[in-house]
Structure 1
Amino acid sequence: MSLWRSTIFRLLMIYALVFAGSVLGLVWVNYCSSANYTATQADYNINWQFQYFAALPRNLMLEQIDARIRTTIHRPVNYYGVFAPDGQYLKGDIAVRPTVVEPNGDGVWFRPQLTSLKIERPQYMRTKATRLADGDVLVIARDVDEMTRLRDYMLGGIAWSGAIALLGGLGFGVLCSAVQLRRIKEMRRLANLIAQGNLNTRLPERGGDELAWLSQIVNHMLDEISRLMNEVKSACDGIAHDLRTPLIHIRSLLARIEPTALRDADAQRVQLAAQETDEVLKRFAAILRISEIEALHRRAEFSDTDMRALCQQIGELYAPVAAARSVELKLDLQPVLHVRADYPLMYEALVNIVDNAIKFAPEDGTVVIAVSQCAEGPRITVRDDGPGIRREEKLAVLQRFYRSERTRDTPGSGLGLSVVQAVARLHDFRLALEDANPGTCVALDCWPERRGL
């Protein structure tokens, strides 16, 4: 889970977009307001001058305009132009009457042409025109560059302030998101441990935010699940222990009966009762063994294990068993890397797998034990050509005591694959049942399983 895919970061991005839009809206409103204020003030100043010049006689007005132009030492603020009704230039530093400016109309943003190229024409000018009593047109253009620059500086300051605030908020938000993401990664790691069977693990409850509340809820659920599982496990183990003792006594009593002292029919019944008692004792022993394996957390005893040598040893052990059942046992063992595993438990699991394969293989059938090196680690497969396992039963056969309808007549307790599953979970290995067409292929991937948490 990366920072860019987290909900916290997405909410931060939405906040950043909303904030950026708000800043842009603020800049636009300020721009429009300042532009309107600049135009209003310029129009007010021009109108005041219109009233002043309109009250003067024509000759005095022209003299005043000429005097103002000549007495300007620095860059002028106002520019004047007097034109005849037909547009002919009469006086001022505006050389051409602007056609876009209507007399007695609204002011416009326009830069009129000046009489001298030496005069620096402002960038922003507000221009208005009025018709005098004698029919002449007076045009006044006002330089608003200073106000415009001030407005631009103000808007730039607002924009930069918004950008700095946005970047600072994003940086702080990313930092907070990274902190939260580290907490989530820690919770994910602990959740993986819980999923692997370490039910004593609990999520951290530090802080008073939503993650801490969620951790408290999950921890409470785990406490209840652990309590219920321990109660069920204790009850099952207690029953197995309690029933095992009288069964052992019964088996001992049956063993003491001399067959010669009984009739043939009674001797057969006693022998059958002894066999059934042995089968029940095997099932109880398997139940207790599964509980023992599931309760093991002895990873400290794991060591480097050569799976090829382990399968070679099991193949040599079961070769006579397979031959006695007219089953051909083949070995396809490639060199593989060592893995961290508990040797006795892996031996027990593979023995159960091979024993099942030989048991369900048909007469003159074949069982193949193969070891190969994958990119992640060694893979062990045991393949037979027996009746196989239907797709809907592949998960069920891993449960305790489950027996398929097609194999109910075969001796067994239905606990062999349960032992294998318990060992695989302890090692965090992946156990898979695949179709061999015909038969079944049991695959054991000897590397940590990647879980989707």
Structure 2
Amino acid sequence: MSGVVYLNYWNSASYTATQADYNIAWQFAYFSALPVNKVPMQIAAHIRSEMRRPINFYGLFTGDHQRITGDILAYPENVRPDGDGIWSKPVLAGQTAVHPEYLRTKAMKLENGDILVVSRDVDEMARLRAYMLGGLVWSAAIVVLGGLAIGILVSSSQLRRVRDVRRVVQQIAMGDFEARLPQAGRDEIAWLSIMVNHMLDEMSRLMHEVKGACDGIAHDLRTPVIHIRSLLARIPAGQLSQAHAPLLEQAREETEDVLQRFAAIMRISEIESIKRKKGFSDVDVDALCRKAADLYQPVAAANGLTFRIDLRARSTIRGDYPLLFEVLANLLDNAIKFTPEGGCVLLSAEEGHDGPTIVVSDSGPGIPDAERSAVFQRFYRSDLTSVVPGSGLGLSIVQAVVRLHDFSLTLSDAHPGLCVRLDCWAQFKRD
């Protein structure tokens, strides 16, 4: 923009100088046509005719720059006879009515060696040029400010749409797969929202189909397995041979294990439902941990373990109390189950900058780094713990509850053993 203003300024100045030089050239043509002895008289006549508002100023000087006549009192510096015109401020006579700021001056040598100097007042043109440049600057400022205002309005509208998209994406990341991106408008963002929503519809449909199939299988098979368990329970063990009685007892245990697995699958399906968030309330972290400790301290003692607690969290969190208690129960049960006799289990809670953190650690075999993400998968059993009875669904239930609450669960090495850290605050911030 400054380059455009400068270009216009330079063009207007060049035009003003050209016009002034053209008018001075006409003056020179007039005076050069006169006899040399009449030039002083004609200079005086021109000065008298322009007394009220002079435009041209005249000065007649000898070859050595001595003044002869005219209202220019001193020969202007840097003015060469028969040279180009220059911008100057010659010394004018005191009786001159005006004192212009901008004068274009040229000099011409006469036949007798005298030098005629003519200065032309271009103040009017300079002021017009200034007005034009001022108008150009103001117009440019209005255009720039208007463009900025329109840009801010357009960008703020787009930013609102981006914030809406980010909010919905956060909901989807938190497990609300029914949320959809806003589709208002006809631009690229709206087109992208339509495509993403279509993709989410397909993903949701496939997930519901898979989930429905798994839940249906678990539900349908649970009934015949219950019947099998009932039939096995009716068989009197005392009437069986010594070889068949252990087989009957093993069949009963396997049936019970299958029912527990089905119950765990149905439990995970229930927890993963986002509607459970409607029942959230304030949960006292200290009371929650103490209740879990009171329940599992006797179990740890019965297994020959030391159970220690270190509770320093006094805040409350938003959550589902039964589900959070189930998380602690699963973690403590695993810690006690996999810690050998003489080991130690620790339950601690502490306050952090973002919220409370619950830690369950043990001195058992731990979990190798390569398997720490796999243990949350359904039915996964590590080689180190495969000899311990279980379904491999406990940590899957824990992970489902953690995701429902938008908490964070991390596994690390306790040197020896496993350290499970539950950060009880929202990992995704809502706008």
The bucket for the TM-score relative to the shorter chain is: over 0.9
**1:352 aligns to 2:339 (yes or no):** no
1:230 corresponds to: 208
1:4 corresponds to: none
Match of 1:48 among 23, 26, 47: 26
Q: Any gaps of 5 or more consecutive residues in structure 2? A: none
Match of 2:69 among 91, 95, 107: 91
**1:102 aligns to 2:80 (yes or no):** yes
1:305 corresponds to: 283
**1:256 aligns to 2:247 (yes or no):** no
Displacement of 1:250: 2.5
- Between stretches 196-205 and 222-231, larger displacement belongs to 196-205
Letter in structure 1 aligned against 2:346? V
Letter in structure 2 aligned against 1:308? D
1:372 corresponds to: 350
Q: Distance in 2 between matches of 1:117 and 1:314?
A: 109
**1:290 aligns to 2:262 (yes or no):** no
Q: Does structure 2 conserve the Cα–Cα contact (< 8 Å) formed by 1:297 and 1:426?
A: no
Match of 1:150 among 111, 120, 128: 128
Match of 2:298 among 276, 297, 320: 320
Identity of aligned residues (%): 56
2:374 corresponds to: 396
Displacement of 1:75: 4.2
Displacement of 1:426: 1.3
1:31 and 1:296, CA in 2 relative to 1: closer, same or farther beyond 3 A? closer
**1:384 aligns to 2:362 (yes or no):** yes
Q: Does structure 1 conserve the Cα–Cα contact (< 8 Å) formed by 2:51 and 2:96?
A: no
Q: Distance in 1 between matches of 2:423 and 2:207?
A: 28
Displacement of 1:99: 4.4
Q: Any gaps of 5 or more consecutive residues in structure 1? A: 1-20
Q: Distance in 1 between matches of 2:95 and 2:39?
A: 25
Match of 1:63 among 23, 38, 41: 41
The size of the alignment, in residue pairs, is 431
Q: Distance in 2 between matches of 1:34 and 1:342?
A: 79
Match of 1:112 among 86, 90, 98: 90
- Between stretches 36-45 and 401-410, larger displacement belongs to 401-410
Note the alpha carbon deviations across 1:234-257, whole angstroms, 9 max, x for none.
111122123222322332233233
Note the alpha carbon deviations across 1:184-219, whole angstroms, 9 max, x for none.
212211211111111111111122222211211111
- Between stretches 339-348 and 259-268, larger displacement belongs to 259-268
State the TM-score, normalizing by the size of structure 1.
Answer: 0.90
- Give the secondary-structure state (helix, strand or coil) at the position aligned to 2:275: coil
- Between stretches 314-323 and 98-107, larger displacement belongs to 98-107
Letter in structure 2 aligned against 1:43? D
Displacement of 1:115: 4.6
- Between stretches 269-278 and 312-321, larger displacement belongs to 269-278
1:259 and 1:117, CA in 2 relative to 1: closer, same or farther beyond 3 A? farther
Letter in structure 1 aligned against 2:365? P
1:117 and 1:355, CA in 2 relative to 1: closer, same or farther beyond 3 A? farther
1:402 and 1:451, CA in 2 relative to 1: closer, same or farther beyond 3 A? farther
Letter in structure 2 aligned against 1:339? I
- Give the secondary-structure state (helix, strand or coil) at the position aligned to 1:240: helix
What is the Cα-based RMSD across aligned positions, in Å? Answer: 2.0
Q: Distance in 2 between matches of 1:409 and 1:110?
A: 106
Q: Distance in 2 between matches of 1:215 and 1:450?
A: 21
Q: Distance in 1 between matches of 2:381 and 2:40?
A: 119
Note the alpha carbon deviations across 1:113-164, whole angstroms, 9 max, x for none.
3354977542211111112122221111111111111101110111011112
Letter in structure 1 aligned against 2:260? K
**1:340 aligns to 2:318 (yes or no):** yes
Q: Does structure 1 conserve the Cα–Cα contact (< 8 Å) formed by 2:43 and 2:58?
A: yes
Q: Distance in 2 between matches of 1:124 and 1:419?
A: 90
State the TM-score, normalizing by the size of structure 2.
Answer: 0.94
**1:442 aligns to 2:420 (yes or no):** yes
Note the alpha carbon deviations across 1:364-388, whole angstroms, 9 max, x for none.
1111111222233222111111122
Displacement of 1:424: 1.2
